[in-house]
């Protein structure tokens, strides 16, 4: 059995334990996925099981692709297209494509993405004459998803005789969100389309309603394996349990410390309590790490051990010593990115090292803007996995289209944004104006300006006035101010705020931030035209790079899960970025611990070298006041090789205590209250004017010096004033 060579005793045990309920619990890089893959190969090669009788699921697309590639590599020549190596959703799509016809829905049904969902909502809002000020799309999509937590909505839908009947029920006295939900459901099903939540729900519904279907699938799937089970929701877990209920062969692997989807309903408890759920189950523990050097593991362990909600375990590695983990503290985000890029350039010249071996990980996608800039400046090809390049993102393209129309009277730009946000200028308007401009041989916008009286639409006049107004303003404002103004005035700002779309807003803020940086660092006034020329050059260059295979990879930590890379840069290690500001504001232990697990996932992706960096001027919200991530202070300094500018008070020992204190879940009582008088060793008499229990900070006014200072509860240089 060639393919079992190189596995350790526990791994072989797990591979051969092919029957019954089995779980493998182990830390990052201990070979869980490798074991699962070997087990699959063992089933097929040694036991003759057909791939179409094995279900092998995991949580994310990236991880399932990785799993499929690893299996393929070992089962060369075998056709796996009949098999089910996929995500939960991918598997449900397979079931539905085969059996959904039972519900009078064609097998060729479409799958809605979030943009499609918004398109449906836009129609409904128009029909009901409501605006997204009442309910943002984001809010409604969340509510729809909540309604789809269980499958009762499908039962309701199919319990009425026909869809027409359902339509009639739309006008009842439902609350507004209910009405929107019903209409949404009606519209999507009339078009035979299912959204993401529907995929599993419809599959479960089919199984509940048609027992023979459930039996068919249960019998077909003789062996079921689940990777990354710590991120499965209760529903997903129930689903595999249901499928396994005939043969009763269920194999799950996971690591509770890598749960990063709790916010989306992950239930790591199911893995922890697996032995109670299935009485005769077996548990196999792997505790040896094969991926990372001892240096990388020590840093990762020193972070994760601070979580309180966890089963204690510490990974050990047999690998020889490697490079020290490097920590770089930059003064600005561009400085940070340049350092990363220089390090990649330097290292890629080493023997056996290519650009492919470098991966940059980050908490939020807006952080790529400045990374991309630094990579492009050095002509380094890169690709963003599971994401879109900054300047290709819709919201950025929209704003650039406005700018291009203003500066160059560009036709493509006109067509892109004439109706964004909606000015009720539909297809007919566009066809008419394009035809007219062909006749007049002028740019479309100029044609519209000159023939405005021919168009009755109010929106057309508004649009012309908007662009004319902006053109007049262009030279009187700095480019960053101008863009800010444009953003508000054009209605784009409201559009995205109403959509409640954080990511887009973050990207736009980052775009504005980039303009501020350009202005600050340039001696001359930055002209809009020059700026546009420059970024179009960026885009051209990055298109050339598409062709090349040897590229640096960029991805969010979430999409890096389950993968491994030789050299990892974890950038933007800043309080407010990682942990995210939302997690900090949340103030709960759970949210912060999930961020700590994310950090752990990021670090444990690295095989040979790990670089961590932060910068004082990353966050657009507070230009130069960033603190390193609070998790930084959990790493023993002797484990890091510090580089860059170090002489900063943010790293001094008092700060370390401060940052650690901020981690305490429940804050002990304060000694002073608002209004109390205190005596400070340096500033003498002061009065407490604020007490923040979450950060454990007093705000104190010292009248003699006319200053207000933030002082920590633990500082022992203040006492009651007598
Ligand atoms: P994660 O928790 O990050 O998903 P994992 O537990 O699934 O990690 P794998 O990705 O399966 O870990 O394995 C990590 C690395 O260790 C891989 O490169 C794999 O080939 C290697 N590996 C696993 N087991 C062994 C072994 N017994 N001998 C040598 N290398 C191994
Ligand atoms: Mg894995």
Instruction: Note the pLDDT tens digit of each residue in 553-578.
Output: 999 999 898 899 999 999 999 998 99
Q: Ligand 2: distance of its center to the CA of 390 in Å? A: 29
C-beta 11 within 6 A of ligand 1: yes
Instruction: Name the residue among 635, 501, 506 with its Cα closest to residue 576.
Output: 506
Ion ligand 2 residues within 5 Å by Cβ: 32-33, 562
Nearest-angstrom CA–CA distance, 294 and 292: 7
Phi, psi of 21 (to 5 degrees): -100, 120
Task: Determine which helix (DSSP H) or strand (DSSP E) holds 178, and give its type and residue range.
Answer: helix 176-190
Tens digit of each residue's pLDDT (9 = 90 or more) over 428-475: 898 899 889 888 888 899 999 999 998 888 999 999 999 999 999 888
CA torsion sign for 698, 703, 708, 710 is: negative
pLDDT at 692: 78
Q: Which of 60, 87, 179, 258 is catalytic?
A: 258
Q: Which of 159-168, 214-223, 478-487, 532-541 has the lowest mean pLDDT?
A: 159-168
| Tokens 């002061």 found at | 686
DSSP state, residue 322: -
pLDDT at 667: 36
Q: Which of 128-132, 140-144, 150-154, 311-315 has the lowest mean pLDDT?
A: 311-315
The complex's ipTM works out to 0.99
Q: Which two tokens stand for residue 201?
A: 């729900």
Atom of ligand 1 nearest to the CA of 604: 3
Specify the pTM.
0.77
In 144-249, the DSSP E strands lie at: 193-194, 223-226
pLDDT at 170: 57
Q: Do residues 253 and 34 make contact, with C-beta atoms less than 8 angstroms apart?
A: no
State how far Cα 371 lies from the chain centre: 17
pLDDT at 247: 94
pLDDT at 14: 95
Residue ID of nearest Cα to ligand 1 atom 24: 31
Residue 113 confidence (pLDDT) above 70:
yes
| Residue 33 bears catalytic tag | yes
Tell me: is residue 29 an annotated ligand-binding position: yes
Q: Do residues 523 and 351 make contact, with C-beta atoms less than 8 angstroms apart?
A: no
Residue 362 confidence (pLDDT) above 50:
yes
Three-state DSSP class for residue 319: coil
Q: Who wins on pLDDT, 478 or 88?
A: 88
Give the dihedral of Cα atoms 176, 178, 182, 183; nearest 10 deg.
Answer: 20
State how far Cα 709 lies from the chain centre: 37
Tens digit of each residue's pLDDT (9 = 90 or more) over 7-41: 999 999 999 999 999 999 999 999 999 999 999 99
- What distance, in Å, lies between the first and last C-alpha atoms of the chain? 83
DSSP class per residue in 70-105: HHHHHSTT---TTSEEEEHHHHHHHHHHHHGGGGT-
pLDDT at 282: 93
State how far Cα 81 lies from the chain centre: 30
Residue 149 confidence (pLDDT) above 60:
yes
Q: Do residues 44 and 78 make contact, with C-beta atoms less than 8 angstroms apart?
A: yes
Residue 314 confidence (pLDDT) above 60:
yes
Tens digit of each residue's pLDDT (9 = 90 or more) over 40-53: 999 999 999 999 99
Tell me what the pLDDT averaged over the chain comes to. Answer: 85
Tell me: is residue 168 an annotated ligand-binding position: no
Residue 694 confidence (pLDDT) above 90:
no
Sequence-distant (6+) residues with CB within 8 A of 146 are: none
List, in sequence order, every residue forming a beta bridge with 266; answer none if it has no partner: 233
| Tokens 């009651």 found at | 720
Across 623-643, average pLDDT: 84
C-beta 607 within 6 A of ligand 1: no
C-beta 30 within 6 A of ligand 1: yes
Q: Which two tokens stand for residue 123?
A: 């129609």
Across 586-607, average pLDDT: 90
Residue 540 confidence (pLDDT) above 80:
no
Per-residue pLDDT band at 644 (split at 50, 70, 90): confident
Q: Do residues 497 and 429 make contact, with C-beta atoms less than 8 angstroms apart?
A: no
Nearest-angstrom CA–CA distance, 381 and 547: 9
Residue 665 confidence (pLDDT) above 50:
no
Nearest-angstrom CA–CA distance, 207 and 238: 13
Nearest-angstrom CA–CA distance, 29 and 554: 20
Q: Ligand 2: distance of its center to the CA of 671 in Å? A: 49
Q: Which two tokens stand for residue 531?
A: 């700026």
Per-residue pLDDT band at 666 (split at 50, 70, 90): very low
Q: Which of 227, 343, 398, 410 is catalytic?
A: 227
| Tokens 């908007």 found at | 466
Q: Do residues 631 and 592 make contact, with C-beta atoms less than 8 angstroms apart?
A: no
Residue 301's Cβ-count burial label (10 Å; 0-12, 13-18, 19+) is: buried
Across 109-116, average pLDDT: 81
Across 221-226, average pLDDT: 96
Q: Ligand 2: distance of its center to the CA of 225 in Å? A: 13
Q: Which two tokens stand for residue 496?
A: 């995205």
Residue 513 confidence (pLDDT) above 50:
yes
DSSP state, residue 574: B
Residue 381 confidence (pLDDT) above 80:
yes
Residue 542 confidence (pLDDT) above 60:
no
pLDDT at 654: 46
Q: Who wins on pLDDT, 166 or 234?
A: 234
Q: Who wins on pLDDT, 588 or 665?
A: 588
> 113-122 long-range CB contacts below 8 Å, 24 or more apart?
113/196, 114/141, 116/193, 116/195, 117/141, 117/144, 117/184, 117/195, 118/499, 120/184, 120/187, 120/188, 121/180, 121/184, 122/422
Sequence-distant (6+) residues with CB within 8 A of 371 are: 337, 340, 341, 360, 362, 554, 571
Per-residue pLDDT band at 596 (split at 50, 70, 90): very high
């Amino acid at each position: 059995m060639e393919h079992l060579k190189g596995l350790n005793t526990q791994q072989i045990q797990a591979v051969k334990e092919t029957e019954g309920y089995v779980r493998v619990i182990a830390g990052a890089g201990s070979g869980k996925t490798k074991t699962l893959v070997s087990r699959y190969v063992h089933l097929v090669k040694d036991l003759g099981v057909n791939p179409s009788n094995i279900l092998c699921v995991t949580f994310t697309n990236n991880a399932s692709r990785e799993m499929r590639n690893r299996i393929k590599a070992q089962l060369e020549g075998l056709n796996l297209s009949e098999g089910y190596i996929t995500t939960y959703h991918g598997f449900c799509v397979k079931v539905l494509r085969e059996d959904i016809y039972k519900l009078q829905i064609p097998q060729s049904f479409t799958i809605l993405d979030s943009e499609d969902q918004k398109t449906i909502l836009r129609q409904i809002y128009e029909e009901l004459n409501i605006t997204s000020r009442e309910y943002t799309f984001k809010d409604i999509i969340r509510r729809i998803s909540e309604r789809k937590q269980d499958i009762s909505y499908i039962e309701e839908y199919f319990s009425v005789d026909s869809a027409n009947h359902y339509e009639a029920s739309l006008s009842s006295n439902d609350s507004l969100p209910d009405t929107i939900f019903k209409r949404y459901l009606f519209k999507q099903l009339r078009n035979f389309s299912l959204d993401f939540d529907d995929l599993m729900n419809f599959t479960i519904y089919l199984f509940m309603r048609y027992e023979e279907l459930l039996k068919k699938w249960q019998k077909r799937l003789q062996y079921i394996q689940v990777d990354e089970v710590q991120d499965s929701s209760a529903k997903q877990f129930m689903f595999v349990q249901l499928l396994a209920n005939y043969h009763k062969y269920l194999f799950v692997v996971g690591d509770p410390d890598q749960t990063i989807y709790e916010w989306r309903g992950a239930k790591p408890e199911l893995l922890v309590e697996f032995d109670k759920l299935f009485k005769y189950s077996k548990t196999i523990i792997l505790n040896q790490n094969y991926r990372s050097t001892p240096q990388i593991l020590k840093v990762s362990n020193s972070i994760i051990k601070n979580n309180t909600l966890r089963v204690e375990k510490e990974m050990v590695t047999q690998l020889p010593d490697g490079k020290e983990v490097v920590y770089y503290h930059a003064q600005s985000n561009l400085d940070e990115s340049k350092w990363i890029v220089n390090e990649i350039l330097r290292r890629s010249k080493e023997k056996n090292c290519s650009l492919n071996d470098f991966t940059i990980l980050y908490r939020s996608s807006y952080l790529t803007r400045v990374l991309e800039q630094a990579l492009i400046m050095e002509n380094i090809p890169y690709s963003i996995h599971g994401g879109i390049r900054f300047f290709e993102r819709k919201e950025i393209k929209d704003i650039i289209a406005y700018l291009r129309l203003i500066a160059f009277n560009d036709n493509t730009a006109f067509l892109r944004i004439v109706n964004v946000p909606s000015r009720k200028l539909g297809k007919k308007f566009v066809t008419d104006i394009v035809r007219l401009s062909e006749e007049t041989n002028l740019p479309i916008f100029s044609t519209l300006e000159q023939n405005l009286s021919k168009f009755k639409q109010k929106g057309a006049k508004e649009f012309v006035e908007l662009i004319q107004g902006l053109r007049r303003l262009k030279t009187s404002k700095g480019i960053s101010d101008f863009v800010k103004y444009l953003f508000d005035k054009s209605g784009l700002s409201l559009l995205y705020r109403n959509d409640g779309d954080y990511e887009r807003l973050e990207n736009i803020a980052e775009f504005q931030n980039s303009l501020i940086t350009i202005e600050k660092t340039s001696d001359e006034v930055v002209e809009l035209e020059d700026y546009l020329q420059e970024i179009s050059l960026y885009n051209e260059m990055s298109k050339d790079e598409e062709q090349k295979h040897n590229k640096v990879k960029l991805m969010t930590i979430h999409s890096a899960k389950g993968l491994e890379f030789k050299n990892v840069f974890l950038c933007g290690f800043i309080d407010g970025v990682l942990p995210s500001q939302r997690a900090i504001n949340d103030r709960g232990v759970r949210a912060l611990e999930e961020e700590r697990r994310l950090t752990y996932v990021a670090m444990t992706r690295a095989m040979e070298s790990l670089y961590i960096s932060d910068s004082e001027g990353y966050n657009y919200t507070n230009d130069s006041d960033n603190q390193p991530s609070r998790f930084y202070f959990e790493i023993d300094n002797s484990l890091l090789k510090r580089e860059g500018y170090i002489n900063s008070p943010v790293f001094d020992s008092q700060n370390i205590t401060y940052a650690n204190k901020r981690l305490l879940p429940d804050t002990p009582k304060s000694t002073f209250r608002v209004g109390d008088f205190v005596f400070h060793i340096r500033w003498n008499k002061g009065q407490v004017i604020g007490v923040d229990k979450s950060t454990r900070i007093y705000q104190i006014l010292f009248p003699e010096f006319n200053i207000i200072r933030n002082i920590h509860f633990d500082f022992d240089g203040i006492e009651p004033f007598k």
